[in-house]
């Protein structure tokens, strides 16, 4: 049986590196591509250490079509691609909309164009629950209407979904899946890879762990006046390893031709809504720590609450979230301690 090769663009990033590990351990060959603009080569080294495989790495900007063609498409025989390469901070996108549109759309269109031109059929897109905007009811299913995005980041996810749908429907033999995932947190149990933000973290858990490690003086909780039980935002926090396994299940579905149509969508979440303040307290309890935090004003682009109905992914992909939240928060702290040399 032919061993399939998968391109992971943005594979030195947080979700990409964990997905590369799960792909290798599931028996796939993997090629990682990344421009290292918001990631580190140490993530690729971590993937290699965990898997024991010298996974190829190509430093390339997905916005550079010619470099993609010569460095990747002319050299590697992958038939599937998972596209992660994108800018990803909701509030930063509000401040820098042009940078987000230029980077996130151009990079994905270049990958799609080259996949089509070279007859490589399977595309998996890293989408987001941000496409639902502020939903009218919870949990959200794949039939929940998309709403106007509350941030340019969310808008790029909506636009890329549409670009993928229209491209595979117009291209014989091409198949695409968009995974709409919720809030990935945690780290690999080995503590060899995890979330590695540059500068001030844009996501909650790295800010929590950096505060616990003493790198940040105080954690800001953005708003305690939302219409939720404790006044803070509610999200569906999913372990990054569980999320990575969902990508393996989706790639397998494409390769085996089990997709029901050329374009499919799946929600990838736990189905449980957890508030920001609850997550802070769960981290403290799971790790036996006390965090210094304060309530700050609301943040631009944030919605009140969202969590997933993952039934379709459970039934169609044969996948479900398995990791316990406390274990996930312990893994996040173990990763931070590994980074900082904390015993």
Token representation of residue 41: 């080569």
The domains spanning 5-185+238-271+311-317 and 204-234+272-308+325-335 adopt the same CATH topology:
no
List, for residues 125-174, the tens digit of each pLDDT value: 999 998 998 899 999 999 999 998 878 998 999 999 999 999 999 999 99
Cis amide leading into 71 (omega within 30): no
User: What value does the mean pLDDT of the chain take?
Assistant: 96
Which residues are marked as active site?
A: 153
> Reduced to 3 states, what is the DSSP secondary structure of residue 295?
strand
User: Looking only at Cα atoms, what is the longest distance across the chain?
Assistant: 57
> 3-class secondary structure for 17-82?
HHHHHHHHHCCCEEEEEECCCCCCHHHHHHHHHHHCCCCCEEECCCCCHHHHHHHHHCCCCCCEEE
Report the distance separating Cα 117 and Cα 119, nearest Å: 6
The secondary structure of 150-171 as a DSSP string is SSHHHHHHHHHHHHHHHHHHHS
Percent with pLDDT over 70 in the chain: 99
Q: Which of 331, 330, 308 is nearest to 141 (CA)?
A: 308
Report the distance separating Cα 226 and Cα 229, nearest Å: 9
List, for residues 89-121, the tens digit of each pLDDT value: 888 899 999 999 999 999 999 999 999 999 999
Contacts of 251 (CB under 8 A, 6+ apart): 4, 6, 23, 28, 80, 82, 122, 124
> Is the overall model pTM greater than 0.85, yes or no?
yes
Residue ranges per structural domain of the chain: 5-185+238-271+311-317, 204-234+272-308+325-335
Fold that domain 5-185+238-271+311-317 belongs to in CATH: Rossmann fold (3.40.50)
Run of H or E including 325: helix 325-340
Q: Is the pLDDT of residue 10 over 90?
A: yes
Is residue 136 classed exposed, middle or buried when 0-12, 13-18 and 19+ CB atoms within 10 A define those classes?
Answer: exposed
Residue with tokens 């990344």: 34
Q: Which residues share a beta bridge with 31? A: 7
Number of H helices, E strands in the chain: 11, 13
Q: Is the pLDDT of residue 1 over 50?
A: no
Cβ atoms within 10 Å, residue 148? 9
State the average pLDDT over residues 60-70.
Answer: 98
Options 1.10.1840.10, 3.90.25.10, 3.50.50.60, 3.40.50.720; which CATH number does 204-234+272-308+325-335 get?
3.90.25.10
Report the distance separating Cα 171 and Cα 168, nearest Å: 5
Label residue 299 by pLDDT band (50, 70, 90): confident
List, for residues 200-256, the tens digit of each pLDDT value: 898 999 999 999 999 999 999 999 999 999 999 999 999 999 999 999 999 999 999
Q: Is the pLDDT of residue 18 over 50?
A: yes
């Amino acid at each position: 049986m032919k061993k399939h090769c998968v391109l992971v663009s943005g594979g030195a990033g947080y979700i990409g590196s964990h997905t590369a590990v799960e792909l290798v351990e599931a028996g796939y060959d993997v090629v990682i591509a990344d421009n290292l603009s918001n990631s580190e080569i140490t993530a690729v080294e971590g993937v290699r250490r965990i898997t024991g495989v010298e996974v190829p790495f190509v430093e390339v900007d997905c916005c550079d079509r010619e470099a993609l063609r010569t460095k990747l498409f002319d050299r590697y025989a992958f038939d599937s691609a998972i596209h992660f390469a994108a800018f990803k901070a909701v509030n930063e996108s509000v401040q820098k909309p042009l940078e987000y549109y230029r980077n996130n759309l151009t990079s994905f269109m270049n990958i799609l164009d080259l996949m089509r031109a070279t007859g490589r059929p399977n595309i998996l897109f890293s989408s987001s629950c941000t496409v639902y905007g502020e939903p009218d009811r919870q949990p959200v299913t794949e039939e929940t209407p998309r709403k106007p995005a509350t941030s340019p980041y969310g808008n790029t996810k909506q636009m890329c979904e549409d670009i993928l749908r229209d491209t595979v429907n117009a291209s014989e033999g091409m198949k695409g899946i968009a995974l709409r995932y919720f809030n990935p947190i945690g780290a690999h149990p080995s503590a060899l890879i995890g979330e590695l933000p540059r500068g001030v973290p844009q996501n909650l858990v790295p800010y929590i762990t950096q505060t616990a490690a003493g790198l940040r003086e105080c954690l800001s909780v953005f708003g305690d006046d939302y219409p939720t039980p404790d006044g803070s935002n509610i999200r569906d926090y999913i372990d990054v390893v569980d999320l990575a396994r969902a990508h393996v299940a989706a790639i397998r579905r494409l390769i085996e031709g089990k997709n029901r149509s050329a374009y499919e969508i799946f929600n990838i979440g736990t189905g449980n809504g957890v508030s920001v303040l609850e997550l802070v307290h769960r981290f403290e309890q799971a790790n036996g720590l006390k965090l210094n935090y304060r309530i700050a004003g609301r943040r631009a682009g944030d919605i009140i609450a969202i969590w997933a109905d993952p039934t379709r992914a459970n039934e169609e992909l044969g996948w479900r979230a398995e990791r316990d939240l406390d274990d996930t928060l312990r893994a996040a702290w173990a990763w931070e301690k590994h980074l900082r040399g904390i015993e």
